[in-house]
Amino acid sequence: MDYFVHAYYGNGVGKTTRTVGLAVRAAGAGKKVMFFQFLKDGSSSEVNVLRNLPNIDYECTGTFGFIFDRDPTEEEIDLASRGIERCLWATEEGYDLIIADEALNALTLGLLREEDIARLISKKERGVELVLTGRTCPDKILELCDYATEFKMVKHPHERGCEARKGIDC
């Protein structure tokens, strides 16, 4: 059996939702899943379910700041660095699926370097499926991926000033 690296990226919604579905599918098949979120603080509604499902371990290191309009703090860089180390650790601990949600955003925002993501991909043990998500995926990382799916936003209520709704958007 082959094991692959996935990149789900783009400005459209659904990247995290896609990974939650994949985690549930893998756990339902008896696979051991590490679901790791960068940037987020663990307050999204799906986390309540992920933390209670068998075969899924959930962790995050974030401050719920997407940092689009400022430079990251040293603390945020340190949290992302700890996150990549936890994902590397998971590759050696018998996980079948590792989801690094928002890792590509952490890269784009300067919290991680391309070398960090490339190292995670190259250190991935045989038998481990790895998923990366974010708004953009640099060409160098894209070349290392087996799956690449771009999510494109066509229309969103946020454009009309609607706030995120608990249980639907967050």
**Fold for domain 5-160?**
Rossmann fold (3.40.50)
Sign of CA dihedral 152, 156, 158, 161: positive
The pLDDT, as a whole number, for residue 170 is 81
| Tokens at 43, concatenated | 């307050």
| pLDDT beyond 90 at 169 | no
| Tokens at 106, concatenated | 């952490």
| pLDDT beyond 90 at 68 | no
User: Can you tell me the distance from the alpha carbon of 51 to that of 125, in angstroms, rounded to the nearest whole number?
Assistant: 24
Q: For the segment 17-27, what is each residue's pLDDT rounded down to a tens digit?
A: 999 999 999 99
| pLDDT beyond 80 at 70 | no
The pLDDT, as a whole number, for residue 95 is 97
Q: For the segment 109-151, what is each residue's pLDDT rounded down to a tens digit?
A: 999 999 999 999 998 878 899 999 999 999 999 999 999 999 9
Residue with tokens 């990974």: 19
Split at pLDDT 50, 70, 90, the class of 4 is: very high
| pLDDT beyond 90 at 83 | yes
DSSP H helices, 7-164, are 15-28, 45-50, 74-91, 103-108, 114-123, 139-144
| pLDDT beyond 80 at 53 | yes
The pLDDT, as a whole number, for residue 43 is 87
The pLDDT, as a whole number, for residue 69 is 74
